[in-house]
């Protein structure tokens, strides 16, 4: 049975973040190469080394994420086939002008960065299944020295153009929706997950994965995702319903 696009709003937001991170990096950060940085690699390990013993039962079937709220956050860990790991923390840190302020902190073995965006229309896009209903109002980046830059004017227009282009070439198709049973990840044990086969088309290429979702997890509901080619595994490392604080400062 096919589910609606809101089940995969996280995939849409992920693509959006990746597009904007590229733009921000080109505009504001000096390239440091793709080689592994021992200090960054050491920062990643603790995220994976303290698994939670928490148990989450089947409180209800996951159809779409719980209502958004300021303070919610999820921390996902990605392990690639070659053993490289990375961490992404997505937080809702505020409300402004009818939209949600989302902050994404990304940490890999070669880079570290923060992007913050004011996004309007998330609920409407979830209801209509039309990603054109999502609007980026502004974008902020923070460099390694803590300096905050606001992407505006021509740069914001370019970022929006790339973002819109990505979404116009994206389609999401849910192939099946079944009980995924118990899934154990570093964030805990989740019973009664919903197992969903996803097919995402980006710029002419098709990516397939299997995901497990649980209603106890905010923002996206994702507990685990495995790409069908076996090259990438994403696992929930931590989450919360409140307490997320912006790393941008005042």
Task: Indicate if the alpha-carbon torsion angle 63, 68, 71, 73 is positive or negative.
Answer: positive
What's the rounded Cα separation, in Å, for the pair 127 and 119?
A: 16
H/E stretch holding 232 reads strand 232-240
Q: Are 64 and 6 in contact (CB under 8 A)?
A: yes
C-alpha 210 chain-centroid distance: 16
Q: In 10 A of CB 209, how many CB atoms?
A: 18
Residue 237 sits at the vertex; the CA angle it makes with 180 and 80, to the nearest 5 degrees, is 80
- Per DSSP, 124 falls in state H
What's the rounded Cα separation, in Å, for the pair 176 and 194?
A: 10
Q: Are 194 and 179 in contact (CB under 8 A)?
A: yes
Per-residue pLDDT tens, the chain, 250 aa: give them: 334 433 334 444 444 444 433 333 333 333 344 578 889 999 999 999 888 999 999 878 787 788 899 999 999 999 999 999 999 999 999 999 999 998 988 899 988 888 888 888 877 776 665 667 778 888 888 876 778 888 777 777 776 666 555 544 444 444 556 789 999 999 999 999 989 887 766 556 677 888 899 999 998 888 999 988 888 999 999 999 999 988 876 5
């Amino acid at each position: 049975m096919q589910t609606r696009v809101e089940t995969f709003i996280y995939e849409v937001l992920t693509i959006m973040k990746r597009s904007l991170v590229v733009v921000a990096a080109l505009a504001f950060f000096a390239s440091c190469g793709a080689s592994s940085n021992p200090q960054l690699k050491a920062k990643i390990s603790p995220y994976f080394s303290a698994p939670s013993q928490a148990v989450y039962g089947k409180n209800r079937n996951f159809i779409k994420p719980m209502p958004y709220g300021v303070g919610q956050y999820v921390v996902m860990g990605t392990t690639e086939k070659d053993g490289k790991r990375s961490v992404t923390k997505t937080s809702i840190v505020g409300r402004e002008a009818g939209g949600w302020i989302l902050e994404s902190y990304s940490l890999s073995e070669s880079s570290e960065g923060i992007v913050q965006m004011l996004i309007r229309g998330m609920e409407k896009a979830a209801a209509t299944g039309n990603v054109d209903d999502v609007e980026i109002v502004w974008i902020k980046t923070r460099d390694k020295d803590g300096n905050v830059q606001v992407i505006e004017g021509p740069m914001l227009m370019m970022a929006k153009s790339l973002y819109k282009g990505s979404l116009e070439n994206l389609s999401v198709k849910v192939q099946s929706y079944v009980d995924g049973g118990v899934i154990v990840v570093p964030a805990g044990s989740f019973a009664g997950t919903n197992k969903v086969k996803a097919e995402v088309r980006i710029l002419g290429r098709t990516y397939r994965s299997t995901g497990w979702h649980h209603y106890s997890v905010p923002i996206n509901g994702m507990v685990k995702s495995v790409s069908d080619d076996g090259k990438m595994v994403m696992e929930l490392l931590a989450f919360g319903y409140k307490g997320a604080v912006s790393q941008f400062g005042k």
